[in-house]
Amino acid sequence: MHNVTGPIAGHAEGPVWAAAWGGLRWVDAAAGDLLTLRDDGVVRQHVDDEFVAFVRPRRTGGFVAAGARTLYLADEADGETRAVARLGDDPGVRMNDGCCDPDGRLLAGSMAYDSAAGRGSLRRIDADLSISTVLPEVTVSNGIGFTSEGSQAYYADTATGRVDVFDVSDGELVDRRPLVTIPSELGAPDGLCIDHDGNVWVALWGGSAVQAYDDSGALIERIELPVAQVSACTFGGTGLGTLFITTSAQGLDPDHGTEAGSLFAVDLGVRGLPTLPFAG
């Protein structure tokens, strides 16, 4: 494992690999910035919002990004963003993590700024920008991802301490059940990704690690990080064989002097899945 960037972000989150924008992109969330890894360093693009939660590629090019309570579209990989939909009006609630499903619909989760119980949700945004609620009364809606054949989805509401699994039936998430409960002393489940074999890789906030579980919930891999607040992970690079991991300096002093806020990478001999794009 190596530190790719050094501690350049306050709250790095949501890494995603897409050839359309040349590789890896993630967010410095509270700064409202999109970060893109180039051969010559990291390029920042600001979104005019108090917060930017996550970003995903679009099928037609460009990207979709979730601000605090606003959805943005851009038509080119590094294009200007424009607001296209409101995702909420409560100033105490913001968007958090999300992904696209195999049908190209965006699944976007939210949470209260103070993490109050039940104030978040998981919603679905269709290509025509219509919005529906998938899961109401979520506390900290976090990582979500689909298996390669699209028949199952994994999901973490961080406050539960669990990673849950859904079956996918006619595009709907059904039969929610726990895959694994993570002891609180090991951290809390945050962002996640799924590899080609159907294993789920989970960032452990407060736990200084990423852990991987197979489809029975058995622990199969543990990657330790030199900082506590591990926020998310994704596969990218050549053959999607590198696991990129974001970390956060949220709540630390500006002169914290640690590697928190860095992007890390590790090659594991494991292959990830291509990023599912937004159809809108």
To the query of whether residue 103 is one of the catalytic residues in this protein, the response is no
Q: Residue 220 contacts by C-beta under 8 Å, 6 or more apart in sequence?
A: 199, 212, 213, 214
CB burial of 40-68 (b: ≥16 within 10 Å; e: otherwise) equals: eebeebebebebbbbbbbbeeebbbbbbb
CA neighbours closer than 13 Å in the CB half-sphere of residue 11: 15
Diameter of the chain measured on Cα atoms = 50
Alpha-carbon distances of 160 from 70, 156, 253, rounded to whole Å: 26, 8, 28
Catalytic residue among 33, 190, 195, 197, which? 190
Which helix (H) or strand (E) is 191 found in, with range? strand 188-194
Q: Residue 12, SS3?
A: strand
Q: Residue 158, SS3?
A: helix
Instruction: Name the one residue in this structure whose structure tokens are 């709250």.
Output: 11
Rg (CA), the chain: 17
Residues labelled as active-site residues: 190
